[in-house]
Amino acid sequence: MSNGTGARPPQSPRVNKASRGARTALRALAVLLIGCLAALGMAASASAADGDELIKVFVVQDPAQTGGQPATLASIAAGTLGDPSRAGEILDLNRGLAQPDGGALNDAADQLRPGWILRLPPDASGPDVRQARDTGNQGTASAAPDRPGAPSGASGTTAAGSTMLTIPLAAAVAALGAIVLALVTAGIVGRRKVRGAYGAVMRAIRGMGAPVKRRRRLMMRRAMGRRFATDAESVRRAYGTLAEFSAGRPRPETPVYALRVDNAGAMVWMSASDALEAPWRNVDSTRWRRATVGGGWLNGPVDGGTASLAATSATCLVRVGTDTEGEAVFVDLSRLDGVLSVTGDHGVARDVVRSVLAEIARIRPDTPVTVLRGADGAPPLALPAGLTQLGRAELPAATPSTAVHGTVRSAASRRPVIGLVVVACTPTGQEAAELAALCGPGGAGWTGLVCGEVSGAHWRWYTDADGDVDIPALDVKLTVPA
Q: Is the pLDDT of residue 165 over 50?
A: no
Instruction: Report percent pLDDT > 70 for the chain.
Output: 66
- Residue where a domain terminates, one of 90, 113, 144: 144
pLDDT at 223: 92
Domain boundary among 144, 174, 197: 144
> Is residue 187 domain-shared with residue 207, that is, in the same domain?
yes
Asked whether residue 159 is domain-assigned, the answer is: no
Question: Whole domain around residue 140: which residue ranges?
Answer: 49-144
pLDDT at position 72 over 80: yes
> Residue 19: what pLDDT?
55
pLDDT digits (tens, 9 = 90+) for 349-404: 999 999 999 999 998 898 999 888 777 777 888 888 889 888 763 454 544 443 33
- Residue 458 and residue 370 share a domain: yes
**pTM listed for this prediction:** 0.55
Do 189 and 271 reside in the same domain of the chain?
Answer: no
Task: Kindly report, residue by residue over 308-362, the tens digit of the pLDDT.
Answer: 445 446 788 999 999 988 999 999 988 887 889 999 999 999 999 999 999 999 9
Beta bridge partners of 56: 131
> What pLDDT, on the 0 to 100 scale, is given for residue 470?
95
Q: What is the per-residue pLDDT across 423-437, written as a single tens digit (0 to 9) for each?
A: 888 888 888 888 888
- Residue where a domain stops, chosen among 189, 208, 229: 229
Q: Examine the domain organization and report whether 247 and 311 are in the same domain.
A: yes
Of 473, 420, 427, 449, nearest in space to 342 by CA? 449
Q: Which range among 34-38, 66-70, 109-113 has the greatest average pLDDT?
A: 109-113
Query: 40-49, 87-96, 277-286, 470-479 — which is least confidently predicted?
Result: 40-49
Q: Are both 72 and 185 inside the same structural domain?
A: no
How high is the pLDDT of residue 167? 54
Flag whether 156 is in a domain: no
Q: Give domain status of residue 344, yes or no.
A: yes
Indicate if 300 and 426 belong to the same structural domain. yes
Domain assignment present for residue 224? The answer is yes
260 and 278 in a single domain? The answer is yes
pLDDT of residue 199: 73
- What is the total count of domains within the chain? 3
- Classify residue 281: in a domain, yes or no: yes
Shared domain check, 305 and 239: yes
Same domain, 283 and 190: no
pLDDT at 195 over 60: yes
**Same domain as 101, residue 202:** no
Bigger pLDDT: 19 or 164?
19
For residue 62, the model assigns a pLDDT of 87
Q: Is residue 472 part of a domain?
A: yes
Residue 446 placed within a domain: yes
- Three-state SS for the chain is CCCCCCCCCCCCHHHHHHHHHHHHHHHHHHHHHHHHHHHHHHHHHHHHHHCCCEEEEEECCCHHHCCCCCCCHHHHHHHHHCCHHHHHHHHHHHECCECCCCCEECCCCCCCCCCCEEECCCCCCCCCCEEEEECCCCCCEEEECCCCCCCCCCCCCCCCCCCCCCCCHHHHHHHHHHHHHHHHHHHHHCHHHHHHHHHHHHHHHHHHHHHHHHHHHHHHHHHHHHHHHHCCHHHHHHHHHHHHHCCCCCCCCCCCCEEEEECCEEEEECCCCCCCCCCCEECCCCEEEEECHHHCCCCCCCCCCHHHHHHCCCCCEEEEEECCCCCEEEEEHHHCCCEEEEEECHHHHHHHHHHHHHHHHHHCCCCEEEEECCCCCCCCCCCCCCCEECCHHHCCCCCCCCCCCCCCCCCCCCCCCCCEEEECCCCCHHHHHHHHHHHCCCCCCCEEEECCCCCCCCEEEEECCCCEEEECCCCEEEECCC
Q: Which residue did the predictor score with more confidence, 280 or 144?
A: 280
> Across-strand partners of 420?
369, 447
When pLDDT is averaged across residues 287-294 and rounded to a whole number, the result is 81
In a 13 Å sphere around the CA of 434, the CA atoms on its Cβ side amount to 22
- Any domain includes 398: no
Same domain, 456 and 326: yes
Report pLDDT for 274.
87
Are 206 and 241 in the same domain? no
Answer yes or no: is pLDDT of 47 > 60. no
* Residue of higher predicted confidence among 54 and 197: 54
